[in-house]
Structure 1
Amino acid sequence: MSRAPRVPRELAILPFSGSRAVAAGLVTWRMLRGPSWRRLLPDVYVHADGHRENDHRMWCDAVALTLPAGAAISGLSAAFLWGVDLLPRASPVFVTLPATAHRRATRRVSVDQRSLSAREITRFAGLPVTTGVRTAFDLGRQLPRTDALVAVDALLHRRVVKLPTLGSYLDTHNGWPGTAQLREVLTLAEPLCESPMETRLRLVLHDAGLPPLTAQHDVYGTHPHRGRVFLGRVDLAYPRWRIAIEYEGDHHRERTHFQRDVARLNALRAAGWLVLRFTADDALRHPARIVRLVTDAIQERRPGQC
């Protein structure tokens, strides 16, 4: 029985430069053309065991090997590295290249030709990536309005950037394309929002002219023996009217989570709270339904005031 060829430790997992690996005597070009290796980009390979076709991190590692000085992974790919995954399936790696660099966009690489200062580039696990503030600045002005707010909320929530820092950065970049949108996004941003759909729900209600909501509101009740007790935290709330608005993601279908939700909702209802629950389908396809139900709830809780 033939033995599988030994894989050099340096090449076992991450993408690598083929020419450098050959020069170092780790592999030969003939080996790289064999079944044990996958060619990702010109002169960039990965071992078959480390190949995952839709693994965006693998593609970021691969693309980073090809970037010139002064370039960085940026946009949605930078957000992904910072822990905010808003990428569509099979997304290209987004990069920003110096204005003097020459590289065409491909299916795997989306190119933005714009010079970055040294202060706008940092390192993430060895990869050049735009800083948190530059990433938020770019996404907040370049994405469509709703997606821009989703991205900024998520980056704020993960503390990749702070709202005052982003505001100050914007003040020093007035006149750049999209800054008017970003300025509006900053007035709507809510670092407490925990998911993109919470942000979308909040924006739907804001755009309908409904009153501002409180995000991640803690609800307390009174127990006859224990006094003030914590009943639960709701995604969005109108505390003065005891209206809670919840986003129901797929994780709520898990048995343990579902059981906890039932107990929490029963406690909220017993304390006089009206709980409205919405899904991704509501937020994406039926925003008018959301507005109608929330408006009816407010009218019910404050009769004669709408």
Structure 2
Amino acid sequence: MQPSPIPSELGPFFAAKGALDAGVPASRLRARDLQRPFHGVRVRPPTREDRQKKDERRSDVVKEHATVTLARQYALRMTEHEFFSHLTAAVIWGLPLPPALENTSELHVSVFAPLHVPRSRGVHGHQARVESTTVRRHPKTGLRVSSPVSTWAAVAPMLEHPYDVVALADAIVRVPRAPGGFARSMPRPLGTMAELDACIRAGRRVGISALRAALPLVRLGASSRTETWTRLTLVDAGLPEPTLDFDVFDDHGMFLACVDLAYPELRIAIEYEGDHHRSDANQWAKDVDRYDALSAHGWRVIRVTKRLLFDHPQELVRRVREAIAAR
């Protein structure tokens, strides 16, 4: 016998209490077809309409991160004193994390002292201090979450490599802009250098030495974790620091490309290529056109892959060093 349908107005997931108030029998909420990610929360199986919407969804629509979906489910049972923090907050804000930390299914939820830490299956509870932690309402999801700067300070002790502490801060202070100087409405940065500095000065905290070491290395133009890693890999090898997010124009002022990292005076561009550059045919074609245009105007392009950056950084350094020497 098929279970009775759940009212569509409750959405794909809902609070059990809200379902009871809507007239759903308690016995229906105990049915096996409903998932129970947290106490008092239910997730209904997708309907035919849900599957149809998924099929009709355009390929350029960004799929919601699984952690964000899980956080929205937990939010149905959150108290007014709880907020998402640490790794969960970083994912909600879209901050770059190492893959092993980004894809964890455990939620990090905090309260301010002296309240007791939240305890629930699948939840890592924390106790925060008012003087060193700021809480915001996330503009897109509406979730209560630690601010990007507070999240940086909380996540830093969980990161194994100092480059990732810098990459997190780079993402916070990055000033989004339209390449080539074209007029376009752009979002504001998530935080400022002054706010990062104030966060460090707010008092003692775990991992403060890593924060202090990272702050002088933070730059405004890095648009990804891998760009930060590329920059720091080159600088730590003794090479000049490259310019980030650099617009290239031809001799007549025509915009050619915006490159990830550059030595403008030497006409050397360093481009990181993620998997989408290889798997997306349109992106691949655009890359070929850009590199041809740069080459035609005297630029040498050094292409960086994940394997080169993380497995063979010495080879990356060698290629850049030889390019500089040749110019």
Please give the TM-score of this superposition, normalised by the length of structure 2: 0.79
Alignment-derived partner of residue 193 in structure 2 = 163
Aligned to 1:146: 163
Q: Residue deviations 1:204-242, cap 9 Å, x none?
A: 1122122111001111222xxxx2322211110111222
Q: Distance in 2 between matches of 1:119 and 1:255?
A: 44
CA distance in 2, matches of 1:182, 1:118: 14
- Among 247, 258, 262, the residue aligned to 1:218: 247
Q: Which residue matches 1:257?
A: 283
Tell me the distance in 1 between the aligned counterparts of 2:239 and 2:126: 38
Structure 2 unaligned blocks of 5 or more: 51-62, 177-188
Which residue identity lines up with residue 247 of structure 2 in the other structure? D
Secondary structure of the 1:41 match is coil
Larger strand proportion of the pair: 1
Question: Identity percentage over the alignment?
Answer: 33
**Aligned partners of 1:102 and 1:141: how far apart in 2?**
19
Aligned to 1:304: none
Shift of 1:79: 2.1
1:134 alignment partner, one of 144, 150, 153: 150
Q: Secondary structure at the match of 2:230?
A: helix
**Are 2:256 and 1:239 aligned?**
no
Q: How does 1:165-184 map to 2 (within 5 A)?
A: 165-173=195-203, 175-184=204-213
Any idea what SS the aligned residue of 1:237 has?
strand
Which of 14, 21, 41 does residue 38 from structure 2 map onto?
Answer: 41
- CA-based RMSD of the aligned residues comes to 2.7
Tell me how far apart the structure 2 counterparts of residues 85 and 205 of structure 1 sit (CA, whole Å): 20
Bigger Rg, structure 1 or 2: 1
Question: Closer, same or farther in 2 for the Cα pair 1:272/1:126, shift >3 Å?
Answer: closer
Distance 1:3 1:64 in 2: 30
Partner of 2:103: 89
CA distance in 2 between counterparts of 1:96 and 1:12 reads 26
Q: CA deviation at 1:201?
A: 0.9
Report if the CA contact (8 A) 1:70-1:115 is conserved. no
Maintained 8 Å contact 1:219/1:233: yes
SS in 1 for 2:81: coil
Gaps of 5+ in 1: 302-306
SS at match of 1:58: helix
String of CA shifts for 1:70-91, please: whole Å, max 9, x gaps. 3210122112222336353343
Deviations 1:132-188, CA, capped at 9 Å, x for gaps: 221233234542312222222222236111222222232233x32222211222211
Deviation at 1:69, TM superposition (A): 4.0
Deviation beyond 4 Å, 4+ runs, structure 1: 102-106
Relative distance call for 1:114 and 1:46 in structure 2 (3 A) is same
The CA distance in 2 between the partners of 1:231 and 1:272, in whole Å, is: 12
Aligned residues: 291
The residue type paired with residue 34 of structure 1 is: A
1:5 aligns with 2:4: yes
1:81-108 deviation per Cα after TM superposition (whole angstroms, max 9, x unaligned) = 22336353343112223443144575x2
Do 1:70 and 1:116's aligned partners in 2 also have CA atoms closer than 8 Å? Answer: no
Query: Residue 57 of structure 2 aligns with which residue?
Result: none
Q: Distance in 2 between matches of 1:3 and 1:160?
A: 48
Corresponding residue of 2:116: 101
State whether structure 2 residue 234 is matched by structure 1 residue 205: yes
The verdict on how the C-alpha distance between 1:40 and 1:199 changes in structure 2, with shifts beyond 3 A counting, is same
Q: Which AA in structure 2 matches 1:135? A: T
Say if 1:241 and 1:200 are closer, same or farther in 2 by CA, change over 3 A.
same
1:75 corresponds to? 86
- The reply on whether 1:21 has 2:19 as its aligned counterpart is yes
Matches within 5 A, 1:283-294: 283-294=309-320
Residue 66 (structure 1) shift: 4.0
